[in-house]
Structure 1
């Protein structure tokens, strides 16, 4: 069965083909053929994706907005929101996580509630839930691009399109920009915004979670317990494990007292917790969260992404910051990364920096989840690719990961649009000033520090061979 042209394509054809025919009558046959082929190449190409259905908007969406839902041909659910005061520009959003397990359409509801500022500021918003759970960056980038195509075909062609990735979604967006926007002339995206991003690549950004597991096990010895089946800690968990998050949190609290006020911790709990904080360089408040990721996300990587082999190793790592580093380094479990597993994870998550359009990154200086030093690694990546001139990095004095402030993001979108349309490359100082101006309309929250520069990643995550 032939796929029919969508309405926009049929309208374009009705307008264009009579003009082509008229031109053909006035020129030679070869020239007429060239004109015909050139014009046809400009016609919209149907994606084969079904049109989204009108739906009630989720909680938190600004009043008057129009919402559409659907499931694309790969099985990914998506949500599109068009504001009443649409400025004819589109933000395509890649969400953080990654979520494990079967994706649910309701994930998009939580995303637009958090990022409602996009719609308040007049931009249309489109977000995919991704076809699969787990650490699968390239597939998520494909799903993100697919929802953009659905928007263009079935909703309208925006004047500008910004690709926005948050947290792990920034890895997705950056990878997508490499896949689809290496050549600016052919790019479907005009610019890229990366916020609180995992931008050092999975083979570097996740190393500290193996460090956390081995140091924690050295101190606590209860994940796994001595009477439980033993397994290499890079595996996260065995496939048949029934351990739950509440159970793991109870084990961590048992050893570290992390959920108790400091005054209620035993001296031994306090000592162990201090060792974790000082050696791994994470705040007390994020220990349970990072242990969750170092358990279930590392399980997903090992069992579902790298064929049961480890992309993580610590055989050469020198741990520092405890009250007896020599004893710690002699006592922790050691593992060697498998080269094939490293290569497989790198192909999916690591970045080349070959992005042909403007890129703006924004990161909280005190981000407890994705270290700000990831940005140093990303700058090095863009420099190696010869693309550093297309990168601007901005740092905000926030100790938050999931969200900074409404005016911060509005200023970032505005800076990218001006960069694309006027050629005005933004500066951190200029974005800081713009952010302050937006506070009158979008509320307080600007904490941009134009002078801040992050340390190299190896000063935050112990280097390894």
Structure 2
């Protein structure tokens, strides 16, 4: 592949005819960007938003969800672009302008694309949806994949619920802080303390039942990693063991350390559980039956534990922090261009129920006809195959071209996936996610604390 490599944002020059073009550079913000344009560019540019990068971690520019998808897309003639974002962590206020600036760099060199599609994985799905709602004139459609389409406020509230249950039921006198961390060290200390609480509790039947209750409040699926055994419908012990692994990961980073970084941007705690009825939340959980079975097996009273949760001192949010998170990271549901959102059913980090939250917002905003959602039956976060990703992209393109949705059911998407990547085994299924436990969007102002 012939490369035209630019290490700085120099004035663009036209690509030589018949060659592939690779460009690396930096935006005025300091973010790196990456552009790949095949010699036989088909006129469509894909603006890829990458996932969450923890503070202090390497932060390279990315313009595709993975090597396999990138190779297939370039072979099909797509131009691929994306940035690193100027900062790491909960960087939405940098990510959106940096992504749009990368699109500007592309346009200045190659001219306006015939079609522009925003897409992204995980946290990049939040960035993608923010672009779709707030800058619809810059794109023709959007494709969030395993995205935080429920928005930032709902995400941090739902991350609070399981650790609140763990502290209340397993370590009520521990003094472990759950929000309002003064610095990263304090958050890491709290994470270590809660990790010890959870690992100790896992050694007893009563502790395992309470861990299952905490996992249910986050809707952690009972099969959430490909290395795990897929449990039977009533194999409660294996289900809980699988959830324990995921919950331990949630405690170690997102619930404490990543929260502290987001709080530092918001200027305080953006989460609350005042007014939350945990009994009602559990009844809506997809793993309610597992929890009741494990409580019975352990000889514990679920009613008493739920009563303890509901009478425990609650956590209030900082109104200014909620306002910041709402303005930067919550959604209205108002779409002006078509969006196809895809999700794996076994996602523990960003549970599939987030799709219900965005569907709720889009329906309230009158945008439901522009939204389609599809589901891949596999464990893990963002564990799509390249063919599954391209199938969704092609279905969205057909909607953009024709002005109406074609067949986005599992049979049609699996057929598209096989055509895009004959070596793959596509896994789209017909699926309806349960309601999201604590939705929050700008289309429902009554949800404010």
1:236 and 1:297 in contact (8 A); partners too: no
> What is the CA-CA distance between 1:290 and the residue it aligns to?
1.6
Matches within 5 A, 1:85-234: 85-97=40-52, 99-102=53-56, 104-106=58-60, 108=62, 111-113=65-67, 115-116=69-70, 117-181=72-136, 187-221=137-171, 226=174, 230=175, 232-234=177-179
Structure 1's 154 and 395: CA in aligned 2 closer, same or farther, altered over 3 A?
same
1:237 and 1:295 in contact (8 A); partners too: no
Residue 255 (str. 1) matches residue 214 (str. 2): no
Residue 358 (str. 1) matches residue 313 (str. 2): no
1:353 and 1:381 in contact (8 A); partners too: yes
Counterpart of 1:455 in structure 2 is: 434
Partner Cα separation in structure 1 for residue 76 and residue 194 of structure 2: 40
SS at match of 1:365: strand
Counterpart of 2:215 in structure 1 is: 277
1:121 and 1:410 in contact (8 A); partners too: no
Partner Cα separation in structure 2 for residue 50 and residue 103 of structure 1: 27
Matches within 5 A, 1:308-319: 308=268, 310-319=269-278
What's the CA shift string for 1:326-375, capped at 9, x where partnerless? 34542645212233322221111111122211111111222222122211
What's the CA shift string for 1:147-177, capped at 9, x where partnerless? 1111111244322111002111111111112
> What is the CA-CA distance between 1:270 and the residue it aligns to?
3.3
Partner Cα separation in structure 2 for residue 165 and residue 124 of structure 1: 15
Partner Cα separation in structure 2 for residue 361 and residue 436 of structure 1: 18
Q: Which moved more, 1:162-171 or 1:316-325?
A: 316-325
1:53 and 1:70 in contact (8 A); partners too: no
Partner Cα separation in structure 2 for residue 237 and residue 276 of structure 1: 25
> What is the CA-CA distance between 1:132 and the residue it aligns to?
1.3
Counterpart of 1:298 in structure 2 is: 259
> What is the CA-CA distance between 1:140 and the residue it aligns to?
1.1
Residue 435 (str. 1) matches residue 419 (str. 2): no
Give TM-score scaled by structure 1 length: 0.73
Partner Cα separation in structure 1 for residue 64 and residue 131 of structure 2: 22
Structure 1's 65 and 326: CA in aligned 2 closer, same or farther, altered over 3 A?
farther
SS at match of 2:380: coil
What's the CA shift string for 1:237-277, capped at 9, x where partnerless? 744438379956962663244xxxxxxx4445534433433
Residue 383 (str. 1) matches residue 363 (str. 2): yes
> 1:417 aligned to 372, 397, 400, which one?
397
Matches within 5 A, 1:392-411: 392-411=372-391
> What is the CA-CA distance between 1:131 and the residue it aligns to?
0.8
Counterpart of 1:13 in structure 2 is: none
SS at match of 2:426: coil
1:406 and 1:445 in contact (8 A); partners too: no
What's the CA shift string for 1:69-97, capped at 9, x where partnerless? 11101111121122354323111011111
1:171 and 1:201 in contact (8 A); partners too: yes
Partner Cα separation in structure 2 for residue 242 and residue 232 of structure 1: 8
> What is the CA-CA distance between 1:121 and the residue it aligns to?
3.8
Structure 1's 231 and 248: CA in aligned 2 closer, same or farther, altered over 3 A?
closer
Gapped regions of structure 1 (runs ≥ 5):
1-47, 55-63, 182-186, 258-264
Partner Cα separation in structure 2 for residue 458 and residue 105 of structure 1: 32
Structure 1's 368 and 158: CA in aligned 2 closer, same or farther, altered over 3 A?
same
2:55 and 2:261 in contact (8 A); partners too: no
1:366 and 1:398 in contact (8 A); partners too: yes
SS at match of 1:243: helix
> 2:354 aligned to 374, 390, 406, which one?
374
Partner Cα separation in structure 2 for residue 244 and residue 83 of structure 1: 49
1:103 and 1:132 in contact (8 A); partners too: no
Counterpart of 1:286 in structure 2 is: 246
Aligned residues: 386
SS at match of 2:82: strand
Counterpart of 2:30 in structure 1 is: 75
SS at match of 1:148: helix
SS at match of 2:108: helix
Counterpart of 2:231 in structure 1 is: none
Counterpart of 1:235 in structure 2 is: 180
Q: Which moved more, 1:326-335 or 1:418-427?
A: 326-335
Partner Cα separation in structure 2 for residue 460 and residue 177 of structure 1: 20
Larger radius of gyration, structure 1 or 2? 1
